[in-house]
Amino acid sequence: MDRRQGDSLPSIQDAELEDKTVLVRFDHNVVKNGEIKDPFRIDRTIGTLFHIVERGGRPILMTHIGRPRDKETGKIQCREGESVRPIVDYIEQKLHTRFFVPEFEIDPEKGIMGIDTSINIAIRELRSRKVSGIYLPNTRWFFGEEAKGPERERFALQLAGLADIYVNDAFGSWQPHASTYDIVRHLPSCAGFLMQQEIKNLDRVLEPERPFLAVVAGAKYDTKIGPLYAIYDKVDRIILGGVIYNTYLCARYGVRIKGVSDSDINLARELVEKDKVTKKIIELPFIVESDTLEGRKEGHYKTISVSDFKSGREYGYIADIDPASFRDGKVHATILDARTILVNAVMGFTPHFIEGSQALDHTIDENRDAIKMYGGGDTLQEFKNLCPGLYLSVMDNARYYFFTGGGTVLTAIGKGSPYGLQPIRALIEKGGRG
């Protein structure tokens, strides 16, 4: 990582905010079916919001929620279950304040076509402090957010017209969209506190204390290939879980596991050949086979041993890692010997198969010397749900760090630096100049 780039990142601490309208991009993508799954990402941004208000700024907030745009048709569906309203309710209750959510005309095919003049009344109330802030609708409801060409530029200009300064505090939103990237060309821009903290902690991943162990799992193999190889090259040891591990086992031992595609197995063979030389993968020896993923039904699942695999054999779903795997001498020693541990993994098919993830988290906690970093909403949420006592006990532990965006962490590792991410690079190259 080039620290000179970090030194040139414009920061909110240096921004003049008094009597300024401040447009802030957060990653508050925590709503599902109209309910907040976990407010962790919101809570992590309160410091930035408080700083803006304390320094005399008037905040206009925005975030994306879900994926309203159909990839095939391009149609945008503005569903109530992906509204920012639950986020606003949470902030209002937490801070005892009042935010205004403007409403715009919605096209049934294209979503919101733009920000019209009806917002001017709300901005006047914001400047006169009749409301504490404005929270724009889901940015992905706007046609221009992910569009190309003039519609996108038009939306970026409309956003810029609302404010005097732009703050990006959305570490988890690394894609270069209008509200994270294009906007920087039109307003003086800087990084919020969370963005700065996440970048700083990425340094501990990219320049780790060794031995460096990564634990990586995922529901799909093909979408994790690039980040997986980038992590593989960076670490001293790696533990795989989920479908990624199932795919590896198929390629490594010539077996068939239900739910693993031929194309993914072919892709995994390259990793298998690579590991024959470097021997970084630490195999988990005991796994849970199930004939269904619909539930944990007695008589329908059992523990099997990888050592019994023979080429050509077929197995049902591998639904979890048996906790005994983490008591295995080699696995246990690898975890306890590590000095940096990065976890982007849920071991089993939750909510029915949870014991593997629980055993992993408790085993990692036995290592009192390592820096332990968890990345990703699913990883963090399952840690919190499955090991609530452990989660609460380590929240303020300096040896633990919880990233708000796992995909961003993996992408940054793949690029070798957070400064390769386009929204962050834009802040450095164009932020502060407007």
Task: Round to whole Å and give the CA distance between 122 and 100.
Answer: 7
> In CATH, what number does 208-403 get?
3.40.50.1260
Q: Average the pLDDT over 368-390 and give the result.
A: 89
Parallel, antiparallel, or unpaired for β 35-36 and 31-32?
Answer: antiparallel
pLDDT at 185: 96
Domain positions in the chain are 3-199+418-430, 208-403
DSSP state, 203?
A: H
DSSP state, 69?
A: B
pLDDT at 396: 87
Which pair of structure tokens corresponds to residue 166?
């732009």
- The b/e string for 331-350 (b: 16+ C-beta within 10 A; e otherwise) is beebbeebebbbbbbbbbbb
Contacts of 366 (CB under 8 A, 6+ apart): 335, 336
Task: Round to whole Å and give the CA distance between 178 and 348.
Answer: 36
**For residue 133, which amino acid is it?**
G
The string of pLDDT tens digits covering residues 145-162 is 999 999 999 999 999 999
Helix (H, G, I), strand (E, B) or coil at 298: coil
Residue 298, Cβ density class (10 Å: 0-12 exposed, 13-18 middle, ≥19 buried): exposed
Fold matches, 3-199+418-430 and 208-403: yes
User: Would you report the helix, strand and coil content of the chain in percent, each value rounded to 5?
Assistant: 45, 20, 40
Q: What is the CA radius of gyration of the chain?
A: 23
Cα angle: 417, vertex 423, 425; to 5 degrees: 50
Q: Return the number of other C-beta atoms located less than 10 Å from residue 289's C-beta.
A: 17
Which pair of structure tokens corresponds to residue 264?
């993914």
pTM for this predicted structure: 0.89
Q: Which band of pLDDT confidence, cut at 50, 70 and 90, is reported for residue 1?
A: very low
Q: Which band of pLDDT confidence, cut at 50, 70 and 90, is reported for residue 294?
A: confident
Q: Return the number of other C-beta atoms located less than 10 Å from residue 281's C-beta.
A: 20
DSSP state, 168?
A: E
The string of pLDDT tens digits covering residues 49-83 is 999 999 999 999 999 999 999 988 999 999 999 99
Q: Which band of pLDDT confidence, cut at 50, 70 and 90, is reported for residue 2?
A: low
Estimate to the nearest angstrom the gap between the alpha carbon of 5 and the chain centroid.
23
Which pair of structure tokens corresponds to residue 320?
């979890």
Parallel, antiparallel, or unpaired for β 99-100 and 31-32?
Answer: unpaired
Q: What superfamily does domain 3-199+418-430 belong to in CATH?
A: Phosphoglycerate kinase, N-terminal domain (3.40.50.1260)
The string of pLDDT tens digits covering residues 119-149 is 999 999 999 999 999 999 999 999 999 999 9
